[in-house]
Amino acid sequence: MIIKPLDWARVIAENVPSGTFVVTSSFDGKRAGVLARAVAPCATEPLLLMLSLRKGHSIAPLIRDSRHVGVCRVESSDRLLMRKFCDTESGPDLADEHAGDPFDSVPVQTLQSGVPILKRSSLALDCEVVRHFDLEADCEIYVVAVVACRATTRDAAPAVVAEPTR
């Protein structure tokens, strides 16, 4: 079953208002992920989301350079992901060539842009950054446009994937 881009707004409206999300990004062979402080839909045409991320995390330069993020809904009871992508630390040292990849023990895939998407997420969005707001606060805001979507049904049926037609 394919979700048409027009149905993305419905899927996101049903799954985004509550939930825990890991935001991922990659650039030049380096990857990082962090738990989002908040995720909210902010427009339907084009389909835009707002992401609030803690300042100072190592994912920020990857987002800046790649202009793409993955937004993956995860269960808050998944202790491995909660610990691995916790936002209280600054994330992996991307300058250290010997630093481990945070995705080494987590199955990932890619959709359209090539950012890592967690396979175990029930909703995965591949997004392009359209705006960045550096607030005078402990968080920064990203407004992102959804370019690809994967959702898994509750009865564990195969994932559904869709990409927009351009």
Tell me the pLDDT of the chain (166 aa) as tens digits.
Answer: 445 555 666 666 666 667 889 999 999 988 889 999 999 888 888 889 999 998 888 889 999 999 999 999 988 888 888 888 886 665 555 555 556 777 888 898 998 889 999 998 888 999 999 999 998 998 999 999 999 988 876 555 544 455 543 3
Cβ atoms of 54 and 35 closer than 8 Å:
no
32 DSSP β-pair partners? 25
* Domain 5-162 listed as CATH 2.30.110.10: yes
Segments making up each domain of the chain, as ranges: 5-162
> Torsions phi, psi of 60, nearest 5?
-55, -50
